[in-house]
Amino acid sequence: MKQRAFVLAAVFAVWGACLHVSAAAAADHTANAAAGMNSQRDIVLAVANPIEPPATHAGSSLLGYAPTGYYGAGQRAVSTLNELKQSYGLHEVAGWPIKALGVYCVVLETPPGMVRDDVLKQLAKDRRVQLAQPLQDYAVYADATPAPSTQQYNDPYVNLQRGFVETDAAMAQRMSQGQGVHIAVVDTGADLTHPDLQGRIHDTHNMVDDDASAFDRDHHGTEVAGVIAADADNHKGIVGIAPKAVLSVYKACWYAPSSGGAHCNSFTLAKALAAVIDTDARIVNLSLGGPADPLLDKLLAQLLEQGRIVVAALPPDGSLGGFPDNAPGVIVVRTSETSTAPPNVVSAPGKDILTTQPGGGYDFTSGSSMAAAHVSGIAALLLAVAPKLDAASMREVLLRNSKMSGGMLQVNAAAAVAALREKQASP
């Protein structure tokens, strides 16, 4: 009897190991497939993915032998997906578990000759389906081509930083430098070897592919990271708004060979947001946007419910209603150079912003992406002073302490930090 139990346990252990090998292989397949997904053709579908807790007795279910922390595709999810793919003639492009929602999410390719909207209508009526929607495209909000380049710090380019100077960041940093505040940057990759970013980026996560060199060559994420947290007093380059903050970079967007700007999709962004949910990041910078999306909206709602400060860039056309600017609680940021803005939208410098570039360089760039990065940095300064500050209070502090600069109303880091410190000191 003991020998039989030993054999069964060994078999289950081997099967469990196979599950993990398959999960790792699936993750690699997902990463490689992201850039090849087609937003005109593909579907995002989610099915329930309950995972039973590990059992403590022999003869339990196969998944009961999965090590602690494992969350992949459960037997129910696998069976349901196989049935759906067979029923509707769909081909799986990639799949990924979303633990926060208790689902397994896949990108499916509609077969030739079938209209995607018709398939989605059928899937919406299928009780086995938790969510079915089009795969959608998103873009970062920065100029594709950088604009031409025309104390208390030893960083040589600090006086050329419009945003840093106009928001009085140097004065704010006498009171706070964002010490220890954790910021998740969901964007493209970033240059981890840049002299102004070394030590500022704590960890990275590639949700698009497994090309490390492409990660380091990505412009947009490098630019955003530099605005937020470039190192100070290192005799190099520029100074970030919050130079003592800690960054986690989640690559969910990539540069297509035929396009000058970076793009993302529902699937890669969902993977990134789901990963952020499992961290202690207090600020989430989303310098990107696109259409409203049910899956992304669910994940964003969880982040907001957890008390995260989510900072988003206003779309170039100035409209609200898409992802991520449509969610109540998100701090939406426009460039202060814009003439008009919807109510409660924060204004920050976004034109001709000097920041870090791949390969250890620096250049000027523009867009609401950079404006949002300034606000994420200021948010870190404020959280270092008042760690329990919520999103509504954060927006109020930013708006109430905005100042005119060059004829434009925009956030002021020094005024906001000083006001918050005064409030904290009051009995």
Catalytic machinery residues: 187, 220, 369
Query: Rounded distance, CA 226 to CA 261, Å?
Result: 18
Paired strand residues for 353: 365
Query: Rounded distance, CA 221 to CA 226, Å?
Result: 8
Query: Rounded distance, CA 118 to CA 59, Å?
Result: 44
The first and second tokens of residue 122, run together, are 């059928």
Paired strand residues for 253: 264
Query: Rounded distance, CA 333 to CA 245, Å?
Result: 20
The secondary structure of 7-46 as a DSSP string is: HHHHHHHHHHHHHHHHHHHHHHHHHHHGGG--TTTEEEEE
Handedness of CA 182, 188, 193, 195 (dihedral sign): negative
Q: Where are the alpha helices (DSSP H) in 159-218?
A: 162-166, 169-172, 212-217
Query: Rounded distance, CA 370 to CA 365, Å?
Result: 8
DSSP character at residue 267? H
Nearest residue to 377 via CA among 282, 288, 275, 302: 282
Residue 349 preceded by cis peptide, ω within 30: no
Query: Rounded distance, CA 351 to CA 242, Å?
Result: 20
DSSP character at residue 65? G
